[in-house]
Amino acid sequence: MISLSCTNFLETEPTDFSSPDDFYNTEDQLNQALSGVYSTLAKDGTYARNLPVELALNTDEAFYKKNFTTYTNPAQYNYDAATPIIAACWKTLYEGINRANYLLANAHIPKMDETKRNVIKGEAMFLRAYYYFILVSMWGDVPLILEPTLDGKNVNIPKTPQREIYSFILREMTAAQSMVDKISDIGFSGRASKTTMQGILARVCLKMAGEPLKDVSKYELARAWADSVITSNEHELNADYTQIFKNHSSDQYDIKESMWEVEFWGNNLGNAYRAAGRIGNQFSIRTTHAEMYGYANVGATKKLFQLYTDPNDVRRDWNVAPFKYENNNTLIPVPHGPNDVFVRDAAKWRRDYETVLPRNVDFSPTNFPLLRYADVLLMYAEAENELNGPSDDAHEKLNMVRRRANAYEYVGANKITDKDDFRDTIIDERSRELCFEGLRKFDLIRWGKELFLGEMRLQQIDFENNAPTSPNMKEAHNAYGRVSERHLLFPIPASELSINKAMTQNKGW
Amino acid sequence: MKLNVFTGFRLQPKVYKFLLVMKIACFILLTSFLSVSASVYSQKISLHVNQATLKDVLKSLKQQTGYNFLYSTDILKESKPVSINVMNVELTEVLNRCFEDQALDFTIRDKTVVIKEKTKMDHKPLVQMGIQGKVTNLKGEPLEGVSIRLKGTNTYTLTDGEGEYLIKIPDGKGVLIFSYIGFTTREIAINDKKVLNVSLLEAPTKLNEIVVVGYGEVSRKDLTGAVGSVAIEELQKAPVRSFEEALAGRVAGVQVSSQDGQPGSTVDIVIRGANSVSQSNSPLYVIDGFPLEDPDNNMINPSDIASMEILKDASATAIYGARGANGVVIITTKGGVDGKAIISYDGYYGTQEITQRMELMNPYEFIKVLSERSSSTANSMYFAGGKTIDDYKDAVGFDWQDRIFKTAPMQNHNLSIRGGNKQTKYSLSGSIFEQDGVLINSGYNRYQARLRLDQQVNNSLKLGVNINYSGLVNYGNSPGGNYNAALLYQAMAYRPISGNPNVNLEELEFDEEIEDQINNTRFNPVLSAQNELRERINNTLLANGYGEYSFRGFKLRISGGFSKDVRRNNTFNNSKTRSGSPRFPGAATNGVNGSVLYSEISNYVNENTLTWNKKVGKHSFTALGGFTVQGRKGTSFGANAIQVPNDNLGVSGLDEGVPNAITSTSTSSNLASFLGRFNYNYKSKYLLTASFRADGSSKFYKGNKWGYFPSAAVSWRFSQEDFMKPLSFISDAKLRASAGVTGNNRISDFAYMSTIDMSVTTSYPFNNQPSNAAVLGELRNLDLLWESTFQSDLGVDLSFLKDKITFSIDAYSKTTNDLLLYANLPTSLGYSRSFKNIGKIGNKGLEFSIYSMNLKTKNFSWSTNFNISLNRNKVIELAENEEVLLSPVTWHSQFNQLSPYIAKIGMPIGMFYGLIWEGNYQLEDFDGSLLKSTIPTNGDNRQDIRPGDIKYRDITGDGIVNFDDYTIIGNPNPKHFGGLSNNFTYKGFDLNVFFQWSYGNDILNANRYIFEGRGGVIQNYFASYVNRWSVDNPTNEHFRVGGSGPAAYSSKVIEDGSYLRLKTVQFGYSFNPKLIKRLKIDAIRLYASAQNLYTWTSYSGFDPEVSARASALTPGFDWSAYPRARTITFGLNITL
């Protein structure tokens, strides 16, 4: 008798949380779990901050503009395996992967419409593959885990060769894009649509065709996926380049151009939701004015400014701030002098266009673009050039992007005849069009380590010889000077390495 | 993938089997008790006679007991009349008293008492002019080794093993002195007697004092385990709110450290070193029999405490099983007394003040640093209109410490009435305690009442209740927030002077002259502190009741208890506070804001124990068996609001603001236990204790719920052995040895389960609408088990010179296995931590305690208590593959990512970790303006390093100082700690002086990072920073302005935290009772008390007893800690 009552007495049930064993039972719960997989995109470790800022800067187009000195600042190539920001990115991505693993392992449970179930599964599969794509681009070989983590017993998890991971990504995204909705049916840019997945597939293929795999057979596939986006009739360029980014700040969607965005919302004030990001204040023009605080952590390089060889190109004075605020603490713009080419702030996203008031010093509602139609066009042009040289087709896609920006087109006498020249033009054009969108370092590395290291060296020299003397310029110069071959990959975080004995450190770290 | 694999479980074979075994064991135990009890003479006698005949007395005894008395009437004729006055005592005891002076003897067989003439000592030759007899204790047990001396002569003898003696007396006259250790000496006139049987009374000495242990009590001489008793009357001399504040240094092996000096701040009590790495190391508290893991000890009025015992070794703690590994503190409150009601008032009033201030720079030095740091700022703020630095030579500035610290009153009033009769005893007490903090707008109040009733219903049944209610109000902001949010930082860093003579900084709400300094001091810290509402209200009820039924050598005790803590935290920031002002950029967007958080914790317990006592000749046995259940429930609910329109309503106006986050939680856990203990005692010479507890907890998954905790101890009082006889100066000597296993279950109630969180903070805003997002929270571990500690202890207790000096030494060794470690995981699993039973910690130590009655004359006495403890802690194993565990500390954004603590295998848990500081770069380290290539950098770029910059040791020798050069730079654990207490009395005066110390522990004084060079641009610094590097002053002490290098922990701010504190002094005078008798007052005593009177230390901060981020992994960190006050009070104690 005692034994029976005792057994019950010691069986308490939690009243404050759900356990995964009792979750995933309804369609609503699957959707909540899917939101959980998406929310990985909006963490500080990923796109709320680290991926577009700390882990993407000091390229030939942008640099970290603070002279804040600590031993570790990845934005200034000052880091090692113990650097928390790098560990946070790794951890956040794997958390998202585990959330997707749980969802996919349980997606069969609810009774629901199969098409809807497939959409949920497709998005989860795609996101999981996308997170692996970021991991493999940044770290090379990483553990490929596709089952939910049920306990912490096995801590020794070996790396999977990146070639296998890439083929997993291709396979998975290819399957996913056939399961999900068109963007015109979704109606906003926060969900990964069929064409979004196709566009990202083109990006994956271009990466595979470039370094380190150099699987040039993938150019064909890259062009094919880009082509399927272009021929879907779902997308077109926004006639006003600047409007794309004003939309990001003001909670407007443009599903034609801005195909996939990380969604941020609100200002983390006045309600309990914490859904705001940091794009607005990190990329802002510097001011400490209470209405519109901007840290201006990102500076545009002289090179970027000068890439806009056409004075009519609207992109220059939108992406690179043509003015600063008087005394850094007002909202009175003062134009930069024509030779102030090192000190201009990145200005692609401007806090004036934020409609959520008051503006929080530290948080903003500005969405961050993960894929734009212009990128798909440039990817098409790049792949076509690699396959067939500077064809009319390649030119047309390039010119579509330039035409919209009011820059001169490569037509007639301007037409590029040499394949290498066309590639160089693409390299520049991607910076002109896509600067600050977290792609440059990724692009430079896939185009080859010589290009990447060479550009870093050129920047070092340019800053050393031409930049004005100030602590932040000096720090930027030092940052470029630190770059070496080991920076092609990030170090495996110490938090992983110290416990996972099957793990090995990347070369040079 | 199978998630539901565990749903099929039904019965736990292990549990079932255990219960079966318990049942059988109980049955066997019970039947054997019953068969034995038939022969026990356990009748209790009450007898009140004066000069009655022995015959009448025996008649009365026969009536009361039903025993037969066999004797021939003749032999009673010679008997002497008997006077006896006893209540509820054993038959043998009464008989002993009756026959003490008779020439008769008795024996008891079955239920028959046979009375005969005393044997004529046939086996010994009868000596003329001699006297013989038997010496026993009150229970009739013979005492061996009693010394019998003929007064005024050297004639003496000792009793033999049967308690018998024979002594030659020349003339049949004189007085015999019977003396025996632990007993009151008796002098008896011979008066021509030939036979003199004597019983001796146990003296109330330390050896006989009753020590409360788990589920019972025992006299100290029969103790087998390591149990420290707090000298409670000494502790009660300290003018403090809670016993925790006065406990440090009182008992060997108990390390007490409070986080800082704030009224009500957490006190960490660690017994014999930290066992657990990531979990709580605090002991289990047993308050009047009610085991509680995390009571708010402020609810107990220290003067209600009757006794306090600290159970230290496994033999003592294993009876508390899964909660015993961190030691057990047993607190018993005062009960009523038999006799007339005693009404007592005790009250004191006094003041507290801080013992020292930090010396800050004067205006001149402050402006000098500012102009070195930023000449443009200095120019615009201080040198307008052609002023120069010299104009500030004699300027007088504010010391903001004057404004935030104050002399604070403190008062306490206790009123109690205690009384009763033989059946009913009652105790009713109440108290009011009010303490202002030395920091403005902080303090602690307690309003408390307690009732205890004990009722003897009849000879076998006793009932009682004990109820305590406390209302606690703790208010005031904690000064130790992050960097510039910390109140002490704001006050000390605030600029001492304005450049504008028309500006009175003290009256300003907001310092507008400082531009663009979001991270600096601009909001008036005094104003902010005065207007912030931080209120923690705790209403606690603790109620216990018991019934005790005694029958035939058994005692059944059933008790129940209930406790409830209802807590309410109120926070409100009005527009005149830093966090609510529209003027402050960081706060502007929230506006006036506040929150209320309610939480409730309730505990209930039911304990049932059966104790059996049996004495067979010189062998005595005690057995205890029991079953207990305990449950705990916790809930909380809270809400906060921002942009509250009405400043004046406080938290009542939160409903008018914009609702923000809501907190809502609930949890529960249950514990069921079986326990047993067996004691064997042979003549208090050989003692054995064995105990066992089985704990079943809801905190673990099926199959792991039950944990088993055995222990055993032996002790040998070798002073009772013949070979010790010649060493008569040793009055008692005991050797103790024990070993056992105890557990620790301090994890959250459902730590074994995986969780899914769905919080508004993890939502994802699809289409500009936040939608609920379910994310994985904690990772389960179904294998989770109790953390178990194996401890062995070897102790020696010695008493010298009739207990005038007692001495104890204990050596112990503990190994904690299966640590409940919140272990790091490889984050590729998607989780960064989970609970695991992994890792191993060792503690070894020595403890000494000495009590000495140095002098005792009619008018003067002096006694001393001294103890010292040494503990060595070692990490033996961490999580899988893990060699080191680094622990960051949150206090400053530049430092938060760095770890000043390391737990490394083979070292103590929380060692300081950082760079070795080597002064400053000097001019000779440079070639021109560039640092020589042979000299390592400090982490800054070589070309940026200037003379006067901070310099560290390059351990790796790679020319660059970075993380690789981190090493162990200090040890926060003391080499030894202890206390020394002296009590003096002279006529009506009494004086207690108590010292407490800690030696060899290091402190990381993070204040010095900020106040010796690394602060904001416009802030004041410690005066010590005047001695900084310049071309004219090439010191190695402090770096130049701007020469701080990258943020790094280093040995520069590691300081020796050793201290010796004159902790408590009380001086009192009691009026002569004869003088006050006519006032119908029994006693009046006046006294003065002081706490923290003086501290000897080389530590440069406010106080060396500090641990602002206290945990086993991060001890001894000082950042903006609330300074400890010196308290001086005057009191009055009246007893009616």
A327 to chain B: closest CA residue? B516
Q: Which tokens sit at A265?
A: 């919302």
What is the rounded distance in angstroms from the CA atom of residue A36 to the CA atom of residue B776? Answer: 8
Q: Which of B118-127, B206-215, B654-663, B1015-1024 shows the lowest per-residue confidence on average (mean pLDDT)?
A: B118-127
Do the Cβ atoms of A10 and B672 come within 8 Å? yes
Closest CA to B774 of A208, A254, A29: A29
Residue A155's pLDDT is what? 92
DSSP letter for B617, please. Answer: T
- Reported as a single tens digit per residue, the pLDDT across A54-112 is 898 889 999 998 765 555 678 888 888 888 899 999 999 999 999 999 999 999 999 99
Q: Mean pLDDT over residues B597-601, rounded? A: 96
Distance CA B929, CA B1051 (A): 27
With contacts defined as CB-CB under 8 Å, which chain A residues touch B881?
A: 155-156, 498-501
What local confidence, expressed as pLDDT, does residue B129 receive? 63
Cβ distance B588 to A358 less than 8 Å, yes or no, reads yes
pLDDT at B39: 36
Say which of B1, B642, B753 has its CB closest to residue A105.
B1
* Mean pLDDT (chain B, rounded): 87
Residue in A with minimal Cα distance to B517 = A288
pLDDT score of A4: 45
The average pLDDT across B120-125 equals 46
User: Which of A7, A69, A149 minimises the CB distance to B940?
Assistant: A69
Distance, C-alpha B868 to centroid of its chain: 16
**pLDDT given at position A135:** 98
CB–CB contact B698 A9 (8 Å): yes
Query: Which one is predicted more confidently, B36 or A15?
Result: A15
Tens-digit pLDDT profile for residues B1040-1069: 998 988 889 999 999 999 999 999 999 999
Reduce the DSSP state of residue A454 to 3 states and report it: helix
Rounded to an integer, the average pLDDT of B774-803 is: 92
Neighbours of B339 (CB within 10 A): 12
Residue of A nearest to B640 (CA): A272
Cβ of A501 within 8 Å of Cβ of B1046? The answer is no
B-chain residues within 8 Å CB-CB of A148?
1
Of all residues in chain A, the percent with pLDDT exceeding 70 is 97
**3-class DSSP state of B166:** strand
Top-confidence residue, B200 or B545: B545
Q: Is the pLDDT of residue B162 over 90?
A: no
Using CA coordinates, name the residue in chain A closest to B6.
Answer: A21
Chain A CB contacts of B758 under 8 Å are: 18, 32
User: Which of chain A's residues have a Cβ under 8 Å away from the Cβ of B588?
Assistant: 290, 358
Nearest CB to A499; choose among B586, B705, B825: B825
Contacts of A38 in chain B (CB under 8 A): 764, 766, 773
Summarised one tens digit per residue, pLDDT across range B554-567 is 999 999 999 999 99
Cβ partners under 8 Å of residue B298, min gap 6: B241, B242, B264, B444, B446, B470, B472, B474, B538
B962 chain-A contacts, CB cut-off 8 A: 71, 80
Number of inter-chain CB pairs under 8 A, A vs B? 280
pLDDT of residue A498: 87
Q: Which residues in chain B have Cβ-Cβ distances shorter than 8 Å to A498? A: 824, 881-884
CB contact under 8 A, B756 and A17: yes
**For B935-978, how does the pLDDT look when each residue is reduced to its tens digit (9 = 90+)?**
999 988 888 899 999 999 999 999 989 888 999 999 999 999 99
Sequence-distant (≥ 6) Cβ neighbours of residue B11 within 8 angstroms: A7
Most confident of B83-97, B165-179, B704-718: B704-718
| B425, B336 Cβ separation under 8 angstroms | yes
Q: Say if the Cβ atoms of A272 and B660 lie within 8 Å.
A: yes
The CA distance from B1050 to B912, in Å, is 9
* DSSP 8-state assignment for residue A301: -
Average pLDDT for A119-138: 98
Q: Which residues of B touch A14 (CB under 8 A)?
A: 667, 749-750, 753, 755
State the smallest CA–CA distance between residue B590 and chain A in angstroms: 7
Q: Return the pLDDT at B586.
A: 58
In tens, the pLDDT along B1073-1106 reads: 888 888 888 899 999 999 999 999 999 999 999 9
| Binary contact (B772, A32; C-beta < 8 A) | yes
∠ CA B347-B351-B352, nearest 5°, is: 125
Structural contact between residues B528 and B558, judged by C-beta atoms closer than 8 angstroms: no
How crowded is residue B201: how many other Cβ atoms within 10 Å of its Cβ? 11
Lowest pLDDT segment from B112-121, B287-296, B603-612: B112-121
Largest CA distance in chain B: 124
Cβ atoms within 10 Å, residue A95: 26
Question: In the prediction, which pLDDT does A70 show?
Answer: 57
Contact A152 B831 (CB under 8 A): yes
* CB–CB contact B944 A474 (8 Å): yes
Vertex B143: Cα angle to B194 and B132 (nearest 5): 10
Nearest CA to CA, how far is A395 from chain B (Å)?
35
Measure in Å the smallest separation between the Cα of B958 and chain A Cα atoms: 15
Contacts of B676 (CB under 8 A, 6+ apart): B623, B624, B625, B626, B691, B692, B693
Do B932 and B926 meet the contact criterion of CB atoms below 8 Å apart?
Answer: yes
Give the helix/strand (H/E) hosting A434.
helix A419-434
Distance from CA of B351 to the nearest CA of A (A): 44
The length of chain B in residues reads 1136
**Hey, what amino acid is at B12?**
Q
Write down the pLDDT at residue B89: 78
Q: How far apart are CA B205 and CA B134, in angstroms?
A: 24
Cβ contacts of B627 on chain A, cutoff 8 Å: 2
Question: What are the Cα distances from residue B250, in Å, to B30, B165, B486, B864, B1061?
Answer: 42, 44, 33, 12, 13
**Residue where the block lists tokens 């890259």:** A222
User: What's the pLDDT tens digit per position in B325-375?
Assistant: 999 999 999 999 888 899 999 999 999 999 989 999 999 999 999 999 888
Q: Considering only CB atoms, which chain A residues are within 8 Å of B939?
A: 71
| Closest residue by Cα to residue A273 from B325, B669, B768 | B768
H-type alpha helices, B405-496: 487-493
Question: Of A97, A266, A499, which is closest to B880 when you measure between CB atoms?
Answer: A499
Question: Which residue in B has a C-alpha nearest to residue A6's C-alpha?
Answer: B672
Closest CA to B700 of B665, B672, B674, B676: B672
What average pLDDT does this structure show over B701-713? 93
C-alpha distance from A282 to closest chain B C-alpha (Å):
17
Residue B149 has pLDDT above 90, yes or no: no
Contacts of A32 in chain B (CB under 8 A): 758, 771-774
B780 contacts in chain A (CB < 8 Å): 19, 150-151
Backbone angles phi, psi at B456, to 5 degrees: -90, 105
The CA distance from B962 to the nearest CA of chain A, in Å, is 7
**Prior bond to A212 cis, omega within 30?**
yes
| Predicted confidence band of residue B861 (pLDDT cuts 50, 70, 90) | very high
pLDDT at B1136 over 70: yes
Per-residue confidence (pLDDT) for residue B411, from 0 to 100: 96
Task: Select the residue from B829, B831, B898 to test the A interface by mutation, using most A Cβ atoms within 10 A.
Answer: B829
Mean pLDDT of A407-428: 95
Shortest distance between the Cα of A496 and any Cα of chain B, in A, equals: 4
CA distance B1048 to chain A (A): 8
State the nearest Cα–Cα gap between B627 and chain A, in angstroms. Answer: 11
Residue A269, min C-alpha distance to chain B (Å): 7
| Interface probe with B: pick from A3, A10, A366, A464, most Cβ of B within 10 Å | A10
The pLDDT of residue B587 is: 59
CB contact under 8 A, A97 and B962: no
Instruction: Please name the residue of chain B whose CA is at the shortest distance from the CA of residue A153.
Output: B781
pLDDT band at B1005 (very low <50, low <70, confident <90, very high): very high
Residue B1080 burial (CB < 10 Å; 0-12/13-18/19+)? exposed
CA of A122, closest CA in chain B: separation in Å?
Answer: 17
